[in-house]
């Protein structure tokens, strides 16, 4: 099996997962894909997705800013939560979904 092809397919799966449920936590995505948390973050980052910490669910939905200012980050800044609104993709953060 071609490793690169497998990786592409996994990336596509991840992409579809966050598209269909942008509130999925990294931990949930890890379980769904069988990837490592680090790999999940790296792949999503590579695809242009990012999530901002905050809100009642612990994080805002996965989204793509595509060069535009991040609306969630702005929202967090407006609330005075300026502790770098963007999730540090390399930090061992686990989003908690408020069920
Ligand atoms: Zn954003």
CA of 92 to the centre of ligand 1 (A): 19
Give the pLDDT of residue 57: 79
Q: C-alpha angle 24/93/70, rounded to 5°?
A: 65
Q: What is the mean pLDDT of the chain?
A: 84
pLDDT value, residue 52? 92
**Ligand 1 centroid, distance to 8 Cα (angstroms):** 24
Q: What HEC string does the chain produce? A: CCHHHHHHHHHHHHHHHHHHCCCCCHHHHHHHHCCCHHHHHHHHHHHCEECEECCCCCECCCEECCCCCCHHHHHHHHCCCCCCCECCCCCCCCCCCCC
- Global pTM value: 0.71
| Distance between Cα 53 and ligand 1 center (Å) | 10
Specify the CATH class of 3-78 in words: mainly alpha
């Amino acid at each position: 099996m071609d490793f690169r092809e497998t990786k592409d397919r996994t990336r596509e799966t991840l992409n579809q997962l966050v598209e269909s449920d942008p509130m999925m936590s990294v931990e949930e995505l890890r379980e769904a894909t069988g990837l490592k948390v680090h790999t999940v973050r790296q792949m999503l980052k590579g695809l242009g997705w990012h999530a901002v910490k905050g809100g009642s669910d612990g994080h805002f939905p996965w989204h793509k800013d595509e060069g535009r200012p991040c609306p969630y980050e702005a929202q967090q800044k407006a609330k005075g939560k300026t502790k770098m609104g963007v999730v540090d993709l390399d930090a061992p953060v686990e989003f908690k979904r408020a069920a």
